Amino acid sequence: MIFQMPMHSNPVLRRTSLAVWRAWRTLKLRLRSSVAGASSGPGSLDRSEELSVASNENPPHTPVMLKEVLHYLDIQPAQVVLDMTFGGGGHTGAILNAVPEVTVLALDRDPTAISLAQQLAKKHSGRVKPLLGRFSELETLLSGMDIKPGSIDAVLLDAGCSSMQMDQAERGFALSKDGPLDMRMDGERYPDMPCAADVVNTLDQQALASILTAYGEERHARKIASAIVEARRVNPITRTQQLASVVAGSFPPAVIYARKDRLHRPAHVATKTFQALRIFVNDELNELHSGLCAARSALKPGGRLCVITFHSLEDRLVKRFLKGEDLSNLDQYHFSPRKQSTRKEKWAREEKHVRSSYWIPVEKKVITPEKDDVQENARGRSAKLRAVLRR
């Protein structure tokens, strides 16, 4: 197997944790030295299964915070909008229906999502332009369409995993659905890119614990990493529910559903492990930073940016980026919560950010879903929306 690194990563942002970056290098070396076709992941067992398009039997995609997005983007007729995470097309569809003559550039790294965008493009002739690629590839894609920097009126960036991906067991994102332990958002675009099974079966205990700590904020990372290493000595871990069982087995039975989500419902102890692996496999934080930089370049002065995040790592990165912080100079755990500082230090920092920022906040406080929306769409319960104007 030929190891392929993520297409674009800020060299310093890669070092979210030195141990995590070493994990990438370790995975590279070990996969290169493995016997061809003997991958520990689903490549040799389950990758022959083709990625299916979302089933018609699945419930329709429910976009997160739709009313808020339409309000804060404030799209006008005939404007050009960039939807950086097309997903199931919920936001794009609503924009097309709400605003006449608007053109939407629909970006997604998932070929399945792009196939849906192409269908929508046929329905709305000339108003939807699908773009297959990652955030880090966006500037090249726009240049190829002869779209110049500073020419787009509004940008929506809906980070995280789409409901469509979570609902497909064969994609390997959901611990509640048994499928190959894959988690690659790009699908089969880069078949040599390591999947989640490659990670859990190849990296040593220290590297696994570092990933769970950095990207899952998992307090029991060492315990879980130890359980994974012990389990894979018996059999390779290649299925989602197999991994969920391994993680659960490292805790007493009474603790398995002791965690609660924002609706105070039981949450499985493996939830943070799955989050960490997904972020690591897809290089999500580096891609998010690349996407924010690309959005800043693409927007015209006065253009609007709405960013939706779903967990604290994403939100901290977005918050600091919009304040004008230089993310390349942050500490190796630069997405961790800040230490308490004095009021004078806070004022000095905020004043500096206001002077250096590219952005004007539309709302000073983060926007969260209404209770009724959370009840209708539980997956959006952790969503946070930040809305800004480009200076």
Of 121-130, 246-255, 320-329, the one with minimum mean pLDDT is 320-329
Of 118-122, 283-287, 350-354, 374-378, the one with minimum mean pLDDT is 350-354
| Angle between helix 18-33 and helix 205-216 axes, rounded to 10 deg | 130
pLDDT at 318: 95
pLDDT surpassing 80 at residue 80? yes
Name the nearest CA neighbour of 320 among 330, 332, 310. 330
Q: Are 83 and 69 in contact (CB under 8 A)?
A: no
Strands 103-108 and 128-132: parallel
Name the nearest CA neighbour of 152 among 121, 129, 118. 129
Of the CA atoms within 13 Å of residue 198, those in its CB half-sphere come to 33
pLDDT at 161: 80
| Distances from the Cα of 119 to the Cα of 92, 125, 129, 132, 226, angstroms | 12, 10, 11, 14, 46
- Tokens 């997903």 locate to 87
Rounded percentage of the chain residues whose pLDDT exceeds 90: 59
CA–centroid distance for 124 within its chain: 28
State mean pLDDT over 215-230.
96
Better-scored residue on pLDDT, 4 or 170: 170
Better-scored residue on pLDDT, 172 or 50: 172
Q: Are 105 and 144 in contact (CB under 8 A)?
A: no
Strands 359-361 and 384-390: antiparallel
pLDDT at 374: 75
Segment 107-124, tens digit of pLDDT: 999 999 999 999 999 999
Token digits for 5? 């690194």
Better-scored residue on pLDDT, 264 or 64: 64
Mean per-residue pLDDT over the chain, rounded: 81
First to last CA, the chain: 46
Task: Catalogue all structural domains in the chain, each as residue range(s) with its CATH number.
Answer: 66-164+284-336+356-390 (3.40.50.150), 172-282 (1.10.150.170)
Q: Are 130 and 86 in contact (CB under 8 A)?
A: yes
Contacts 24+ apart (CB under 8 A), 36-41: 36/1, 39/1, 39/197, 39/198, 40/197, 40/198, 40/201, 40/202, 40/232, 40/236, 40/238, 41/180, 41/181, 41/182, 41/194, 41/195, 41/196, 41/197, 41/198, 41/201, 41/238
Q: If you compute the radius of gyration of the chain from its CA atoms, what whole number of angstroms results? A: 21
pLDDT at 15: 43
pLDDT surpassing 50 at residue 266? yes
CA–centroid distance for 58 within its chain: 22
pLDDT at 262: 56
pLDDT surpassing 90 at residue 58? no
pTM of the model: 0.82
pLDDT at 46: 38
Task: Output the CA angle 237-241-246, nearest 5 degrees.
Answer: 60
Of 203-207, 314-318, 331-335, the one with minimum mean pLDDT is 331-335
Segment 267-303, tens digit of pLDDT: 789 999 999 999 999 999 999 999 999 999 999 999 9
pLDDT surpassing 60 at residue 130? yes
DSSP state of 15: G
State mean pLDDT over 251-264.
69
State mean pLDDT over 121-130.
96
Rounded percentage of the chain residues whose pLDDT exceeds 70: 74
Q: CB burial class (10 A; 0-12, 13-18, 19+) of residue 336?
A: middle
